[in-house]
A and B are shown apart, each in its own frame.
Chain A
Amino acid sequence: MTAPVLEAVDVVRTFGATRALDGVSVRVEAGRSVGVVGESGSGKSTLLRQLLALDSPTAGEVRYRGEPLARRDRGLLRRLRADVQPVFQDPRSSLDPRMRVGAVVAEPLRSLRVPGDHRERVTEVLAAVGLDPDVATRYPAQFSGGQRQRIAIARALAPRPSVLIADEPVSALDVSVRGQVVELLQRLATEQGLTLVLVSHDIAIVGRLCERTVVLHHGRVVEEGPTASVLADPQEAYTRRLLAAVPQLPGV
């Protein structure tokens, strides 16, 4: 059996007296999709930073393709940086307003020193997210929220990662646009065989996108399993409370 692409093993992260993560274990298998659901203070953002190797655990470890991430292992970290790409919540603040879209999308190619024709790759990934090649010459501010999120996804795809880690990728978007971005992520995951990790407070979005769901509460995994069974037959009181709280439109 091959090792998971990413794996958190009994990860503890403390900030002073606060245990933001209190022994969290999560496996992310290649080509699958995992959603991490939690409210504020659940530790989901701390876990996200661990999986992106932007922070180190106080105890426990994070493994990338079976190898424990250690601060000193530059080679391993470099491979992870190219292979695991983040998509953040608000494309307004994650896209540099002074850079043209083409430069924004090519940025990971430059910083990771990816060989090959960057301009060609930019055109390719823009097409993959449904944008014309000529948007490359414009500035992020000239685009709507949904289009900016497409640009952010194109940038993440540029270095041909196998894993996308998305942090609330649609929470800042209007509802009519949200569905389109969810569909885009779904299509990209299927077509390109991407592994998807989605971190969100929104269990409905996780329900749409992810095969497995992990429910995080006060720094612990309270429930984990196939999304269908977590939604239909939640075992934990907290999961039931979370599901009951989601505002629903009555009737169908």
Chain B
Amino acid sequence: MTALLSVEDLTVTTSTGRRILDGVSWSLDAGGRLGVVGESGSGKSMTALAVLGLLPEGMRASGRVLLDGEDLLTLPPRRLARVRGAQVAMVFQEPLTALDPLMPVGRQITGPLRLHRGLRGAAARDEAARLARLVHLDDTERILGSYPWQLSGGQRQRVALAMALACEPRVLLADEPTTALDVTVQAEVLDLLDDLVDRTGVALVLVTHDLPVVARVARDLVVMRDGRVVEHTPVAAALAGGRAAYTRELVGAARAVTGLPTTGGPR
């Protein structure tokens, strides 16, 4: 079986010649769930941006990013723009940056429906309502008529997910999608992500610093450090003691710091 999305020897260099990513390779099968973890400066977000062709000014990517065998790095900008959103969709940490503050969220969801799927009028509105229900935005009418600032952080991230799924993408790239949320809301959004991947069959790339979050949703794991892939392994194998020392270190630190002490309290 060939991979749906594969990153091969991806290297990103700054204008001064510094390597931000150095030979990054991993692959994702259709319907797969990949977690990319690393600490700050590891290059995990840069990998996501490179896949989407959204590198900051002055940075250059080499290697290959193959979606169904087609190299996204060599696509002309206009073709890439059509892939982005339609086939590879994204969700970021802070949905406010992805949402237009001056437009009701319903119209923001119908935007991509018009652009990529050619839906108009009532058909677009009905589909937007269906997507809102898909991401469990109950009270659909009111929410679709609201501006982003009138919604809570959790509701905004659900709207961002609805927009991302509007075009039935094959890959959903989520960069720290729950990091800015309260822990109880985070749990709801993670359950939703889990459920969406099951129901829509979209393949998930979840980029985060938070190993327990990855463990909750992903099946495979890429551990990054200093722009390189340290290990590419099933999540379960990493938790049972990864091959790489750094993976074991990360798992140990996550257990020590984010684990709830069973006895509780010091001294």
> Does A145 make an interface contact (CB < 8 A)?
yes
Instruction: Report B-chain residues with C-beta under 8 Å of the C-beta of A135.
Output: none
> A208 contacts B266, CB within 8 Å?
yes
Residue of chain A at shortest CB distance from B153 = A40
Instruction: Report B-chain residues with C-beta under 8 Å of the C-beta of A175.
Output: 39, 209-211, 250, 253-254, 257-258
Our pick among A170, A232, A241, A250 for the contact of B215 (Cβ within 8 Å) is A250
With contacts A175-B253, A211-B266 known, is A248 near B184, CB below 8 A? no
> Does B1 make an interface contact (CB < 8 A)?
no
> Does A96 make an interface contact (CB < 8 A)?
no
CA gap between A243 and B234 in the complex, in Å: 27
Our pick among B153, B257, B260 for the contact of A231 (Cβ within 8 Å) is B260
> Does B249 make an interface contact (CB < 8 A)?
yes
- What are the interface flags for A145-161 relative to B under an 8 Å C-beta threshold, 1 for contact and 0 otherwise? 10000000000000000
Our pick among A170, A190, A210, A248 for the contact of B260 (Cβ within 8 Å) is A248
> Does A17 make an interface contact (CB < 8 A)?
no
> A207 contacts B257, CB within 8 Å?
no
> B239 contacts A250, CB within 8 Å?
yes
Instruction: Report B-chain residues with C-beta under 8 Å of the C-beta of A251.
Output: 239-240
With contacts A175-B253, A232-B262 known, is A249 near B211, CB below 8 A? yes
CA gap between A228 and B263 in the complex, in Å: 6
> B249 contacts A176, CB within 8 Å?
yes
> Does B267 make an interface contact (CB < 8 A)?
yes
CA gap between A209 and B186 in the complex, in Å: 23
> A204 contacts B257, CB within 8 Å?
yes
- What are the interface flags for B207-224 relative to A under an 8 Å C-beta threshold, 1 for contact and 0 otherwise? 001111101100000000
Interface of B (DSSP majority class)? helix
> A179 contacts B39, CB within 8 Å?
no
By Cβ-Cβ distance, the 3 closest A-B pairs, closest first, are: A247-B212, A228-B264, A227-B265
Our pick among B210, B263, B267 for the contact of A247 (Cβ within 8 Å) is B210
Instruction: Report A-chain residues with C-beta under 8 Å of the C-beta of B39.
Output: 174-176
> Does B256 make an interface contact (CB < 8 A)?
yes
> A227 contacts B264, CB within 8 Å?
yes
- 13 residue pairs of the A-B complex, CB under 8 angstroms, read A33-B266, A39-B182, A186-B266, A204-B260, A207-B264, A213-B265, A226-B265, A228-B263, A230-B264, A232-B264, A247-B187, A248-B259, A249-B254
Query: What's the nearest-Cβ distance from chain B to residue A218, in Å?
Result: 13
CA gap between A203 and B266 in the complex, in Å: 14
With contacts A175-B211, A228-B263 known, is A249 near B183, CB below 8 A? no
> Does A1 make an interface contact (CB < 8 A)?
no
Residue of chain A at shortest CB distance from B37 = A175
Instruction: Report A-chain residues with C-beta under 8 Å of the C-beta of B116.
Output: none
With contacts A175-B250, A175-B257 known, is A244 near B187, CB below 8 A? yes
> B253 contacts A190, CB within 8 Å?
no
> B211 contacts A209, CB within 8 Å?
no
Instruction: Report A-chain residues with C-beta under 8 Å of the C-beta of B133.
Output: none
Within 8 A of B (CB), among A213-235: 213, 226-232
Residue of chain A at shortest CB distance from B267 = A211
Query: What's the nearest-Cβ distance from chain A to residue B219, in Å?
Result: 13
Instruction: Report B-chain residues with C-beta under 8 Å of the C-beta of A54.
Output: none
Instruction: Report A-chain residues with C-beta under 8 Å of the C-beta of B239.
Output: 249-251
> Does B255 make an interface contact (CB < 8 A)?
yes
> Does B40 make an interface contact (CB < 8 A)?
yes
Instruction: Report B-chain residues with C-beta under 8 Å of the C-beta of A213.
Output: 265
> A245 contacts B186, CB within 8 Å?
yes
Within 8 A of B (CB), among A133-147: 145
Residue of chain B at shortest CB distance from A170 = B257
> A243 contacts B255, CB within 8 Å?
no
With contacts A33-B266, A175-B39, A207-B265 known, is A249 near B257, CB below 8 A? no
Instruction: Report A-chain residues with C-beta under 8 Å of the C-beta of B253.
Output: 175-176, 178-179
> B210 contacts A208, CB within 8 Å?
no
